[in-house]
C-alpha cells in the first residue's frame, strides 16, 4: 500500500472537494464536505480496498490523511 494510492482512494469519497486539496498533510476533519457519512464511506473504502477494519476512534484520533494512512498500515 502506497500513500499516493491511499490519498487517491480517500479523495474519491468526496464529491465536491477538488482532488488537488488532498495531500498527506490535509487535515480532513476541517474540510467543508467532511461529515459522519463521509467517515462511514472512508471506513467502507478501507475495508474494501485494504481489508482493514477501521473504527470511528481511529478516524477521530487521526488529524491528517497521513495519520489515517499510518493507522491503516498498522492494522495490515
For residue 12, which of 48, 55, 50, 41 has the smallest C-alpha distance?
41
pLDDT at 1: 87
State the Cα angle at 49 between 66 and 16, rounded to 5°.
65
User: What is the per-residue pLDDT across 27-73, written as a single tens digit (0 to 9) for each?
Assistant: 999 999 999 999 999 999 999 999 999 999 999 999 999 999 999 99
pLDDT at 22: 98
Q: Which CATH number applies to 3-74?
A: 1.10.1200.10
Contact (CB, 8 A) for 27 and 65: no
- Kindly tell me if the per-residue pLDDT of 74 is higher than 90: yes
Amino acid at each position: 500500500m502506497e500513500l499516493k494510492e491511499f490519498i487517491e482512494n480517500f479523495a474519491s469519497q468526496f464529491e465536491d472537494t477538488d482532488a488537488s486539496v488532498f495531500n498527506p498533510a490535509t487535515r480532513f476533519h476541517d474540510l467543508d464536505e467532511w461529515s459522519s457519512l463521509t467517515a462511514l464511506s472512508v471506513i467502507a473504502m478501507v475495508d474494501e480496498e485494504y481489508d482493514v477494519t477501521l473504527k470511528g476512534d481511529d478516524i477521530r484520533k487521526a488529524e491528517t490523511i497521513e495519520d489515517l494512512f499510518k493507522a491503516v498500515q498498522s492494522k495490515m
